[in-house]
Amino acid sequence: MTAAIHIRRWFMAPVLFALMGVLLASGGAQGAEEVASAIRRYKEREASTGYYEEYEVLPRRQRPFVEIPGVKRGIFPYSPSAAQVRIRTRLADSHRGIKFYESRRCEACHVRETMDNHTVRANLTCRQCHGGEPIASIDHYYSPLNPIRRHAYVCSKCHEGASASFASYVVHEPVPGATETRTAFPTLYYAYWFMLLLLLGTLVFFIPHSVLTGLRELFGRKRKSE
């Protein structure tokens, strides 16, 4: 028995060596490409700006489980039902064709968007992130808010060292308890309902429990002193 296992292991050795060789060779090829670049240490630059030399690329060296909302990945990154295709999210001028646009204020239409912490507490104006006229759709190729460069062009103006992952913080938070949020931002939805039910459950149990304790002790005392 043991001899057979030994033989099998002996046969495995060259296979493993070959595998390691392939892996090392491919790594070396990537390394050679790096060195050939005119831009030194381009990996860091690429990761932070979304550019490889003059070409635009997706941020590289993504960490597993760190996904970026708005950036679709995979073999077929399109979906026929994806809402963002149908809404104005890929226009150079997102407000194109809106009547009397020049005389309107942002908050006249974007009501909820002016009530988040960045607007209310940090006192940011819309244009400080979305840019001047014409305001591009956030998924337009040249928009500063396009998820491929949002972190470098917008977030890092204040948050030094912001990464693509950091830029996936949802500035305009959806209503956490709404049904739409269950599909748009499920973690927030479930965290909200869990905490709300925990809060209500604790108080709904312990407030009557305390009141009844107080009442029963009061009545018990009276009976004793009588």
Partner 1 sequence: MMTPTTRIKRFGVIDRVFHLFLILTFLTQTATGFGRLYYTTAWGKRIGALFGGYESSLLVHKWVGIIMLIGFIVHTVFLLFKVDWRRPKASLFGPDSLIPTFRDFVHLGQRIRWFFGLGAAPRIGRWSYWEKFDYWAVYWGMPLLAITGLMLMYPIWTSRWAPGWILNVAALLHRAEAILAAAYIFIVHFFIGHLRPTSFPMNEAMFSGSVPLPEAKEEKPGWVEQMQQQGRLELAAANPPSTMYRVIYFLFGYAALGIGVYLLINGILYSGHIRLH
**Residues at the site binding partner 1, with contacts judged by CB under 8 A:** 63, 65-69, 120-121, 159-163, 165-170, 173, 176, 185, 187-188, 191-192, 195-196, 198-199, 202-203, 206-207, 209-218, 221
Judged by beta carbon, residue 43 or residue 221, the one nearer partner 1 is: 221
Q: How far is the CB of 172 from partner 1 (least distance, A)?
A: 11
Judged by beta carbon, residue 113 or residue 173, the one nearer partner 1 is: 173
> How far is residue 55's CA from residue 72's CA, in Å, rounded to a whole number?
19
**119 within 8 A of 104, measured Cβ to Cβ:** no
Cα 140 to Cα 93, 114, 135, 167, distances in angstroms: 9, 22, 10, 17
Residues contacting residue 221 through CB under 8 Å, at least 6 positions apart = none
Q: How far is the CB of 211 from partner 1 (least distance, A)?
A: 8
Judged by beta carbon, residue 7 or residue 211, the one nearer partner 1 is: 211
Judged by beta carbon, residue 87 or residue 199, the one nearer partner 1 is: 199
Cα angle, residue 60 at apex, residues 83 and 31 outer, rounded to 5°: 155
> How far is residue 102's CA from residue 80's CA, in Å, rounded to a whole number?
34
Q: How far is the CB of 220 from partner 1 (least distance, A)?
A: 8
Residue with tokens 């890929």: 90
Judged by beta carbon, residue 91 or residue 175, the one nearer partner 1 is: 175
> How far is residue 217's CA from residue 36's CA, in Å, rounded to a whole number?
84
Q: How far is the CB of 217 from partner 1 (least distance, A)?
A: 4
Helix, strand, or coil (residue 51) = strand
Residue with tokens 């990761």: 47
Q: How far is the CB of 106 from partner 1 (least distance, A)?
A: 19
CA dihedral 23, 27, 32, 33 (to 10 degrees): 120
Q: How far is the CB of 164 from partner 1 (least distance, A)?
A: 8
Judged by beta carbon, residue 9 or residue 159, the one nearer partner 1 is: 159
